[in-house]
Amino acid sequence: WRLLRRCGSGIFEQVVHDVDAMRWLLGEPETVYAAGSRMVLRDVDYEDAVTYLMRMRGGFTATLVAAICSKKSGSRDFGIVGSEGTLMRRSSGLYLNDEPVGCGDWNPFEREDAYFVECVRRGERPEVNEVDGYRAQAIGEAALLSLALGREVRVEYKY
């Protein structure tokens, strides 16, 4: 299923996690423009590299670049550039203006799973829930539509 555009494409399946992180840090995008190409993976019928340009609520823009054809497998570099400096999350750690910032040694998957199990035990709704999943899906669908139309698309949220 990851090889087929009609199933959402593998690129969307990977990018959705980055979209979640961007939403958590920056809020909701109002529009998305996506451009991409298929240059390496010949056995898929969709783009193997995509760039999203999102206009966020508040008037600023966010850019997300994703590739499932990179030889640098598993890389999840993430940066925020602001008026006070640049915060970068690389596979080697967290950096503020190129200086390492200690953030401890922990496994995010273990924390996520433990938190979810605790919510189930207590009968509580997780902070990250079905609405977040829906909104990430809406952004992905807008990006796929933008790829097809070649223009900026408004993200339609019902929730």
Task: Give CA–CA dist 19/136, Å, rounded.
Answer: 6
Task: Give CA–CA dist 35/147, Å, rounded.
Answer: 6
Contacts (Cβ under 8 Å, ≥6 apart) of 81 = none
Task: Give CA–CA dist 62/40, Å, rounded.
Answer: 26
Task: Give CA–CA dist 32/147, Å, rounded.
Answer: 10
Domain boundaries, the chain: 5-152
**In this structure, are residues 45 and 3 in contact, taking their beta carbons and an 8 Å threshold?**
yes
* pTM, 2 dp: 0.79
Which residues of the chain, if any, have pLDDT below 50? none
pLDDT digits (tens, 9 = 90+) for 103-117: 777 777 899 999 999
Q: What pLDDT does 118 receive? A: 98
Q: What residues pair up with 64 in beta bridges, in sequence order?
A: 52
The correct CATH number of 5-152 out of 3.30.70.360, 3.40.50.11260, 1.10.3720.10, 3.30.360.10 is: 3.30.360.10
pLDDT digits (tens, 9 = 90+) for 126-153: 999 999 999 999 999 999 899 889 999 9
Q: What pLDDT does 79 receive? A: 83
